Amino acid sequence: MSIQKISFIGAGSIAEAIIHGLLQSNIVKSEQITVGNRSNKARLQELYSRYGVKGTHDNEELLANADIVFLAMKPKDVVEALTPLQEYITNQQLIISLLAGVSTASITSLLQKNVPVIRAMPNTSSAILKSATAISPSVHAEEEHIYLAKTLFETIGLVSVVEEKDMHAVTALSGSGPAYIYYVIEAMEEAARQIGLDETVAKSLILQTMIGAAEMLKGDTKPPAILRKEITSPGGTTEAGIEVLQSLHFQEALIQCIIQATQRSRELGKALT
């Protein structure tokens, strides 16, 4: 399937990240992308200035001749956003939903068409072609649709095809995951400030430490627990730090964070149903 036009319904951060990634990978040109939202002209102008993509508030213009339609609005707005689109969506289009917690069955029901839907959960690392994306097909999506979606998302990172029942867990783990990492880095930067380290030096050291640890995990067959123990000498500085994390139940807090995010994804889906 050759792609002539991709439309985004919603112009938030995840839509921008994917747009940036798609253009970076040269899979489409800016004139092949159209973005729509309800009323925020300034945001559409901002995306046009940055990427050269067309913006519109006209649903017919947005969806006409679109091969792929990304649903990128807030999940709570899905009913209000999709209901007016029923007359413009066709079964020849591929719908790719980025909506956390919203099932493919709910989307086909709202559109009142047996349109193929691929539910996807990328993350904002799409913007630098490093996304971890999971996709799952609707009952009306065929192999060609799965292949197209997989090919599309592979241009902006790694892709896994999963069963739809696992998408709540994926949303909590990799969809929200970058925010957890950034939260940890915020704390490390604040700690560096409190112990008197230069801000520029601290940022450089923290980022390279994160990158190095991730590369070690990618290239090493050892599990993270073993890698951690190998740099935790008895009575040393690392052990002193780990003991504080253990006393504050750091691992338990992070586990509960992901469990709660998974539950919230399920709640969003149930509310819509």
Starting at the earlier edge strand, list the strands of the sheet with 131-137.
Answer: 54-56, 33-36, 6-9, 68-71, 94-97, 117-121, 131-137, 157-161
- pLDDT (tens place) for every residue of the chain, 273 residues total: 678 999 999 999 999 999 998 998 898 999 999 999 988 999 999 999 999 999 999 999 999 999 999 999 998 889 999 999 999 999 999 999 999 889 999 999 999 999 999 999 999 898 888 999 999 999 999 999 999 999 999 989 999 999 999 999 999 999 999 999 999 999 999 999 999 999 999 999 999 999 999 999 998 789 999 999 999 999 999 999 999 999 999 999 999 999 999 999 999 888 776
pLDDT of 98: 95
Q: Which two tokens stand for residue 110?
A: 């709202």
Q: CB neighbours of 260 closer than 8 A, spacing ≥ 6? A: 172
pTM for the model: 0.86
pLDDT of 1: 60
Phi, psi of 126 (to 5 degrees): -55, -35
Tell me, what DSSP letter sits at residue 128?
G
Q: Which residue has the tokens 């067309």?
A: 54
CB hemisphere CA count around 4 (13 angstroms): 6
Domains of the chain, start order: 6-163 (3.40.50.720), 177-267 (1.10.3730.10)
CA pair distance 271, 237, nearest whole angstrom = 48
From 59, 80, 50, select the one nearest 9 (Cα to Cα): 59
* 3-state SS class at 213: helix
Ramachandran bin of 157, using left for φ above 0, alpha for ψ from -120 to 50, beta for the remaining angles: left
92-108 burial code (b ≥16 CB/10 A, e <16): ebbbbbbbbbbbbebbb
Q: Which two tokens stand for residue 243?
A: 């003991």
